[in-house]
Amino acid sequence: MKLRKPKIARHDVIADDCPKRLKAHLALIGGYNIYDEPAFRLVRAEKCVMRISIERPFFADDQDPANAIPMKEVAELIASGVPEREALAEGARISERNLRPLRTEVGETLFPKYPFRGIVIERWQPPGFYGTRAEWESIHVARFPFLGAYPQYGDYSMIGSKEGIDWPSLAFVTEVIRSYREMQKQQPENCYTRFLIRAHAIQKMAEKKERALEQFYHEHLTDEWTGRCGLLHRVSLAAGRYRDEVAKRAGITEHAGN
């Protein structure tokens, strides 16, 4: 069976490797949409992406957000004779300036569509399935103002999945689609409920990424230079003096330096 050439390009699947026999089977039992795309498709969950809105920071040319702990600058100040306390304070000021953007703008970025790995069976849904453009853009997720661009050409939604990396059999795919069609007859869905489900999924993924980033900074970068990269974990003379000072303030009398 020769597959039709779609009239549009979605760019929402990275390196699609679904076997042709499965694509032909899906086109045979499901048909095509108005853009000559198969009504059903099989994709790897980890290769699916979607566009969402996100705030992007912009920095000045002399700012370096990667230099969150300016150890080089602090070391140079100490070597030049600046008291350690003043050098550390200056390092904190440099760090704060490097991490403070000039402005932020809202733009679109690619985001994982599914928070798991495996094979997903999707069904194309027309724009009306997702409600009106106004309803779509009224949904806010975390700091994102909406769920990305409105799907004016419709979009694919998951109706079933399979664990593992192996592609499913024709019988498995056929049964999933049959069960989906039966469910549609018995339980018509509400588009606003689908909005909230999709928004909740994106929010959970975004919060997971934020927690991982916060944990990284907690372990490596701190204002008092006490993280893994901080003075409390270095072997330089300045680091030893800093540890002695911290121990002294804490009432520890034994040597805490190098």
Q: pLDDT digit of tens for each residue in the chain (258 aa)?
A: 789 999 999 999 999 999 999 999 999 999 999 999 999 999 999 999 988 777 777 788 877 777 767 778 888 888 888 888 888 888 888 888 877 888 877 677 788 889 899 999 999 999 988 888 888 877 765 555 556 778 999 999 999 999 999 999 999 999 999 998 888 776 555 656 655 666 666 677 677 777 777 776 666 555 444 554 454 444 455 556 655 665 666 566 665 455
Strands 155-162, 119-125: pairing is antiparallel
> What pLDDT, on a 0 to 100 scale, did the predictor assign at position 132?
85
Q: Is the pTM of this model over 0.85?
A: no
The Cα 132–Cα 157 span in angstroms is 17
Q: How many helices (H) and strands (E) are present in the chain, helices listed first?
A: 7, 5
